[in-house]
Chains A and B, each alone.
Chain A
Amino acid sequence: MRWQSMVAWLRYQPSEEPEPFILTEHTADEVSRAIAEADRSRMQAMADDIAAGKREKEKLCDGREDQSRDGEARSAGRSRDGGDGRSAGRSLDGEGRSAERSRDDGEGRAEEERILRMKRADFALREEELMPVGCAYRHGFTAAEDVAVSRSLEENANTLRRLYHADRTNDLKLRFFTLKSTMKKGLLFAYIDGMVDAMLATQSVIEPLMMLAEERAVQRADVMAERIRRQFLPMMQTAEGTDFGKVVTVMNKGGGALFIEGSDTAFLLEMAGYPMRAVGKAQIEETVRGSQASFTESLRGNISQVRSLVRSEDLVAEVVTIGRIARKECAILSVDGIVDPKLVREVKRRMEGVAVDHVFDCGALMQFLTERRTSFPQMLTTERPDRTAEALMQGRVVILTDGDPFAAIVPAFVWDFFHSTEDREMRPPSAIFMRVLRYLGAVVTMLLPGLYIALTYFHQEAIPSQLLVVIAGYRQMVPFPSLVEMLLLIVSFEFIREATLRVPSRLGGSISIVGAIILGQAAVTAKLVSPVLVVVVALTGLASYILPEYRFAFSLRVCQYAFLLAGGMTGLVGISLLSVLLLIELAGMSSFGVPFLAPLIPRTADGSGAESMRPDVLNPVRIVKAEGDGKRWQKEESE
């Protein structure tokens, strides 16, 4: 009987939810008071239910008595009809048993209630004793996502302290305050110092809540929470979180979390106020014409910059979080109705499949998204919103990373690395000339040192006689072989280049002077290198700067060493073999499934030159970009 009672109590669910279990303070007395209060309400509800059950039972017994009376009448009738009178005796026995049973039930119920009360008191005591242990157990071994927001403010505060290692860091700020209401409900506003906009937090969260009018205050926590959200939080972006996974995600991004006493839902308020760079001029991709704006480190700001150019509801920005420890938000931008949906799915699949602890920028992310390891970049990066918008309108996908002022454009073809935004600002002949110049620059960057060495070592007959005489004249005075001489100069040039990038800008001039005087003049005077070689290396260095994409130019510079060694050891044959290997490598590469050398091979309709079509290789949903050549006014004039 006792055991059954205990089970009944454990399974007991009151028909109406009582006032939630609230802990305002955490002294032992208050905890026990609160538990006792909760117990009282629960027991009251239980007693009410029992009483209701008793009433029902009585009704049932009454019904049985009526039935027995009916039976008696029927049996009397039957006896009149020749019955043996046994039924009358049975009904009398039944009446007596029913009365006895109801008396026994009343006594049993009272005993049961007494036992239940004792058990409740025992459980309450145990719960009080074990609560800290339970909290520690739950919080010590579970991830933030698994910890639910508690109705107790103190428990929530403790959870946050544990998650943010408050014993070692002090940038987690917990602001407790009380509502101006009859219930005096407590609120907790949690944020990370320096990440939120303090002014916004004060004016939009704390002040309105502190001024909450008394008559508007209500007792039920959930109703009050809803009223607070609707009437007292003048924030643009509010969300609700029931677990600490969401809470810390928002707080890590510079948001705040508002906990309400008695409510198991936290309000997540976006109010980032950490220092961010304003929109500035493009530093890497400077152009003479066109927009001068560049991306910043703010993801939302960058998306808005793109939106300001692609003003269409079809521009979709899907946010994906990458990084298991340092969670970084990345946005996948595409224009619905233009881009191939398969491409978007593939990009999303790959991004969701990045399983690393942290990714801080677009370049690092690229390493995890591309198919094969090669020195050539397989994603185009740009700091210009106008170039990004152009790519989106071509049917490509753009990846933006929070905290990185560069956008990654996929898929990318090798030809894209020779294009500049400025090309579209110019008339076609000028743009073509510029592009040819860049292709030439790439060839010179990669091949010139190797070709020079190959020709001077193995194929002197290919050098015009007068030039050969000049080269030979200078070579006479230099003690090193040409290959060593060339390596010396190229490596020195790399030193200067790296030094110029790393030193403070004020010292940049002096580095250039040192490089020009020491390497250019002193080395020649000291007869360490020949002047012809200085010209070759300087030309190679200059050519590498023509390319608009820094990473692609860097890859070519890496290839330059391979060609130099091949040319030095086996002449033009080695260079030819290496060229074929390089071509095979490029032909085998693909960017998100699209061949890197397209649309040249595999041959597809090119969309870059023709203004009316998008590149066919991108498989866009809408391939036609413009009606005819986009000059309908000419037709109208002729008509």
Chain B
Amino acid sequence: MRQRIIGHREASMLLAICVLPSVFLLEPSTGIARAGTAACLVKVGGGLAFLTLSVWVAVMVERYARGRGAFTFGDFLAHHLSRGVACAVTVVWAGAFMLHLILLLRTAAESTAKTALLQSEISLPLVLFGGAMMVGVRQELTALLRTAYLLVLGAGGLVVMLALLLLPMHSAELLLPWQGYGYAASMREVFSDMGTWCMGTAVFLLFPMMRAEGGTVKSVVRGVIAAAVIKCTVLLSALAVFGSVVGAERSFLFYEMAKLVHFSQYIQRVESIFVCAWVMVVFLAMIVFVRIITMLLTDVLSVSDGRPLTMLVISASVVCALLVSDLASAVEVGGMLTYTVMPVAFLVTVGAVTVGYILRRRDGDAYRVGGGD
């Protein structure tokens, strides 16, 4: 296994690109439906919870990595738990990423067919995305993350620009707490909302192979902040424009907001340009997901070369996305996965590693510099 050192910007963009795609799709409307006007606060709360636990995992992983050469996340888990549990956890996370990839593919294809390719069937954008992924996935993960850096910056700029262009339509009173379910009631959603951040676990899953130059903690903090800024801007703007009621009813809020942009007689109906932003981000995220799944499977199956697996993963994801009957099913499955399964999986993983860490520490053989398993 080859170990790579990547810049902390690339590492933080790995986290950002994994958690951002949903913000251009269904996450804003789902968030508003679950928390009302407090959606933005819930988002921040969920982000903080994820950040706290992530920093703890990052500290443990970095301590473990001290003085060690290349290793996988499976080795790290096996050190704290057992080889079998490590395999199981890796498979669970590979499965979680695979499910997310399928749902993302389906949602992206559906929204593309509804917004950009109006006369086409769902299979065309699906095949289009699948084919493009096969081309893009050939590149090194470093190249993907560098692209992510550019795209996240660009998408962030576009989001801010959208918010500014919609400034005349913003109504501050739509943000007031009594428009939704109240802040106190909404705070219960913080745990569930942590699920929208859990794809950021990719930083730890790939950490052994892609060590961040400035440290994982720094990368996690920066990545969460970058993603939180974009997510909160979209949520606040959507709430200010649509309010909690209408916002919860619409599906693709980002697109709906872009449709409202009207700036003189020459800049009107520019939603197709904003569509480009989310197509790019979502597409890149899907390629990154494929690479993550492949790397995890390569570790579990102890395969030396994971390239044949990429084709398999892409083909399987396209076929499975076609099997999903409609967008409502995708939303339902996606909601359950994101808001229920992912937070639990994340907490269980962190908890197990922590217990292992404590037990090892009690035995006195944890994190010896240069020590083996």
Contact = CB atoms under 8 A, between A and B. Distances in A.
Is B a genuine binding partner of A? yes
B149 interface: yes
A573 B277 CA distance: 10
B140 A573 contact: no
A316 interface: no
Interface string A570-596: 111111111111011101100000010
B232 interface: no
A603 interface: yes
Contact of A587 (B7, B146, B276, B280): B146
**Interface core residue of A572, A584, A600 (most chain B CB under 10 Å):** A584
Interface string A435-451: 00000000000000000
B109 to A, nearest CB: 10
B136 A581 contact: yes
Interface string A272-296: 0000000000000000000000000
A329 to B, nearest CB: 36
Nearest to B109: A573
B284 interface: yes
Given A459-B116, A464-B266, A587 B143 contact: yes
Interface string A600-630: 1111000000000000000000000000000
Contacts of B275: 572-573, 576
A597 B135 CA distance: 20
B82 interface: no
A470 interface: no
A464 B263 CA distance: 11
A602 B7 contact: yes
A637 interface: no
Nearest to A455: B272
A29 interface: no
B139 A584 contact: yes
B59 to A, nearest CB: 25
Interface in A447-498: 455, 458-459, 461-462, 464-465
A585 B273 CA distance: 23
Contacts of A461: 269, 271-272
Contacts of A581: 132, 135-136
B180 interface: no
A589 to B, nearest CB: 8
B116 A577 contact: no
B114 to A, nearest CB: 12
A570 B283 CA distance: 15
Interface string B125-156: 10011001001100110111011011100000
Contact of B279 (A577, A584, A587): A577
A464 B268 CA distance: 7
B302 interface: no
Query: Which secondary structure dominates where chain A touches chain B?
Result: helix
Contacts of B150: 583, 587, 597, 600-601
Given A576-B280, A577-B283, A601-B9, A584 B272 contact: no
Nearest to B272: A459
A572 B271 CA distance: 11
Contacts of B142: 587-588
Contact of A584 (B10, B116, B118, B143): B143
Given A583-B150, A583-B151, A584-B136, A571 B279 contact: no
B284 A580 contact: yes
Nearest to B10: A602
Contacts of A587: 139, 142-144, 146-147, 150
Contacts, number: 106
A462 B147 contact: no
Interface string B248-271: 000000000000000001101111
Contacts of A602: 7, 9-10, 146
A572 B270 CA distance: 12
Contact of A462 (B9, B132, B151, B269): B269
A572 to B, nearest CB: 5
B117 interface: yes
Nearest to B129: A577
B147 A580 contact: yes
Nearest to A582: B147
B317 interface: no
Contacts of B272: 455, 458-459, 461-462, 571-572
B147 A576 contact: no
Nearest to A603: B9
A439 B280 CA distance: 21
Interface in B324-338: none
Given A462-B273, A572-B272, A579 B117 contact: no
B30 interface: no
B310 interface: no
Contact of B280 (A459, A571, A580): A580
A462 B261 CA distance: 11
Contacts of A572: 116, 272-273, 275-276, 279
Contacts of A455: 272
B279 A588 contact: no
B122 to A, nearest CB: 13
Interface string B1-26: 00000010110000000000000000
B112 interface: yes
A585 B116 contact: no
A127 B46 CA distance: 98
A144 to B, nearest CB: 44
A570 B128 contact: yes
B95 to A, nearest CB: 26
Contact of A571 (B116, B139, B266, B270): B116
Interface string A104-117: 00000000000000
A577 B140 contact: no
Given A458-B118, A584-B147, 20 more contacts: A459-B272, A462-B270, A462-B271, A462-B272, A464-B268, A570-B116, A572-B272, A572-B279, A573-B116, A576-B275, A576-B280, A577-B279, A583-B151, A584-B287, A585-B139, A587-B150, A588-B146, A602-B7, A602-B9, A603-B7
Shortest 5 CB-CB contacts between residues of A and residues of B: A588-B143, A587-B146, A459-B272, A461-B269, A576-B279
20 contacts: A458-B272, A461-B271, A462-B270, A462-B272, A572-B276, A573-B117, A573-B276, A574-B128, A576-B275, A580-B147, A580-B280, A580-B283, A584-B139, A584-B144, A585-B139, A587-B139, A587-B144, A588-B146, A600-B150, A601-B9
